[in-house]
Amino acid sequence: MKTGLLIVLSGPSGVGKGTIYSRLLERMPDLTVSVSVTTRKAREGEIDGKHYYFVSREKFASMRENGELLEWAETVGNCYGTPRKPVLDRLAEGKDVLLEIDVKGAVQVKRAYPGCVTVFVLPPSVEELKRRLVGRGTESDEQVAARLALAEKEIAEHGIFDHSIVNADIDKAVDDVIKIIENEKRSKNIC
Ligand code: 5GP
């Protein structure tokens, strides 16, 4: 049986990758998702085991040390990681798996699984990214500045990704990712 395609969606904080991810799942219901583990506290409405597995720092460290994470990163003060086994099991069953993770994590996945397809989501401009981050109203001025500085560094390195798309219009961005997935599946003969 053919293995599935591992798709990694990444990009700077505030670029809208979470929205693209949700829309993709609506449009491509056969995609399998991975539930990440995180040390951050659940936000209102978030369900343990659905949005994330919320774990202690100790539990996260033991998962990391036992090789249970496919990749992991510490970003904005919290640790995030992708449990390895469910992803590899689904791929082995021939299912396509979608990860929505930060740039450091995406780089690790590409190194470990060169056959995966990595997609970087770019903002129309850094000014627009700033406007979105400020508009979200969830971060302090200092946090916005830190996220923007990191975003500029990440954007400068986007050439290491297999594909880059610009999220100026959400429908167009989702169409672009779908086209990338379909082309990759065709070229890898996973249909
Ligand atoms: P949030 O706290 O807003 O849910 O996510 C913060 C950042 O962590 C986002 O950029 C998101 O893509 C990233 N993230 C979520 N899960 C993972 C994961 O399993 N691994 C990595 N490397 N990043 C993740």
Q: Which residue has the tokens 């700033």?
A: 130
> Averaged over 162-184, what is the pLDDT?
97
pLDDT at site 191: 60
What is the b/e burial string over 167-186, where b = at least 16 CB atoms within 10 angstroms of the residue's CB?
A: beeeeebbebbeebbeebbe
Please, what is the end-to-end C-alpha distance for the chain in angstroms?
Answer: 12
* pLDDT, tens digit, 9 for 90 and up, residues 127-158: 999 999 888 887 788 888 988 999 999 999 99
> Averaged over 33-50, what is the pLDDT?
95
* pLDDT, tens digit, 9 for 90 and up, residues 55-79: 999 999 999 999 999 999 998 789 9
Residues 42, 107 contacting (CB under 8 angstroms) = no
The H helix count followed by the E strand count for the chain is 7, 9
Best substitution site from 17, 19, 33, 36 to test ligand 1's pocket, by max atoms within 8 Å of Cβ? Answer: 36
Of all protein residues, whose CA lies closest to atom 10 belonging to ligand 1? 102
> Averaged over 8-30, what is the pLDDT?
95
Q: Give the Å distance between the CA of 107 and the centre of ligand 1.
A: 14
Using CB distances shorter than 6 Å, the residues near ligand 1 are 13, 36, 40, 71, 73, 75, 80-82, 100-102, 104-105
Query: Which atom of ligand 1 lies closest to the CA of 17?
Result: 12
For 145, other C-beta atoms within 10 Å of its C-beta total 13
Of all protein residues, whose CA lies closest to atom 22 belonging to ligand 1? 105
